[in-house]
Amino acid sequence: MNKIINAMTVDVEDYFHVSAFENTIPRSNWEKMPLRVERNTYRLLELFEKYNVKSTFFTLGWVAKHCPNLIKAIVDQGHELASHGYSHKRATEMTRAEFFSDVEQSKNILEELSGKKIVGYRAPSFSVNETNTWVYDVLIELGFQYSSSTYPINHDLYGVPDWPRFAYLRDVSDQKLIEIPIPTIRHRDINTGIGGGGYFRLYPYWLSKRRIDKFHKLEQMPYNFYFHPWEIDPDQPRVKEASLKSKFRHYVNLSRMEGKLEQLLKEYQWDTMKSVYLHKNAKIME
């Protein structure tokens, strides 16, 4: 087993919250949708307990409001609770004031339900780029210590390919915030995403493992992995009105995800984002 301790993360949102369906399922319809995130996240808690893994749960405030017992279960089992905003609206689609309100609402709900200070944030769809770096000022103002909101790749929905590939300090108004990008491997000046999500479901496990091992060998850095509770739920309702591309990305290999996840949990060492990146000896770029 690789001795590098990596960070396991879950973006706690339901199948109808995803950005790919935002034009098909308006937020005004969310209350009418069958809720599956609670059941799926409890299943993840069982898997993490089975393999003695601690994870960071970047949780939507909307989910916390509707599933308060789930929030208590996450923290009672020793996992880190972090914010994914309230409404799953991309940061690039909000004004500074709207972003402040959305993240503050999420943080307040999570802290009230958990009794824990929330120090981590992840923007929906990794929606921080050169157009909205004021996000970091807001996060510091709200008391966050780290963000994991960037993916240094070319992608049609997100991506900042020229931004740092490893955890680094952002200086904001004489204060510092750690940004923890989703991991990539680099070949011929091109970054390839290896952090999880659809890439992990699409490719065979052996290829994902080879890329993670290559990352460890070349970079000697912790790896962080992300996925969603709906990705272990092959029986979720199908959104027929979505585009073919969105359907492929969302539904590909759902039935295989849990087995691949178990392999990942067994073969590597995992902890929370806070434990991996916020301790005094963590490798953080200046």
- Considering only CA atoms, which of 226, 166, 232 is closest in space to residue 195? 226
Q: What is the mean pLDDT of residues 133-160?
A: 88
d(CA 90, CA 94): 7
Q: Do the bridges between strand 184-187 and strand 5-12 make them parallel or antiparallel, or are there none, so unpaired?
A: unpaired
pLDDT-derived band at 173 (thresholds 50, 70, 90) equals confident
pLDDT at 162: 85
pLDDT at 2 over 60: no
State phi, psi for 240 to the nearest 5 degrees: -70, -25
Task: Give pLDDT tens digits for 227-250.
Answer: 999 999 999 999 988 889 889 889
Q: Per residue in 15-28, is it b (16+ CB within 10 Å) or e — as a string?
A: bbbbbbbbeebeee
The residue assigned the tokens 């740092």 is 164
Task: Calculate ∠ Cα 6-204-233, nearest 5°.
Answer: 80
Q: How many CA atoms lie within 13 A of 155 on its CB side?
A: 19
Q: How many Cα neighbours within 13 Å face the side chain of 59?
A: 35
pTM (two decimals)? 0.96
How sure is the predictor about 155, in pLDDT bands with cuts at 50, 70 and 90? low
Class of domain 5-277: alpha beta
Of the candidates 195, 117, 187, the residue with the CA atom closest to the CA atom of residue 150: 195
CA distances from 186 to 162, 183, 189 (A): 12, 10, 6
| pLDDT beyond 90 at 67 | yes
Q: Which of 102, 115, 82, 111 is nearest to 10 (CA)?
A: 82
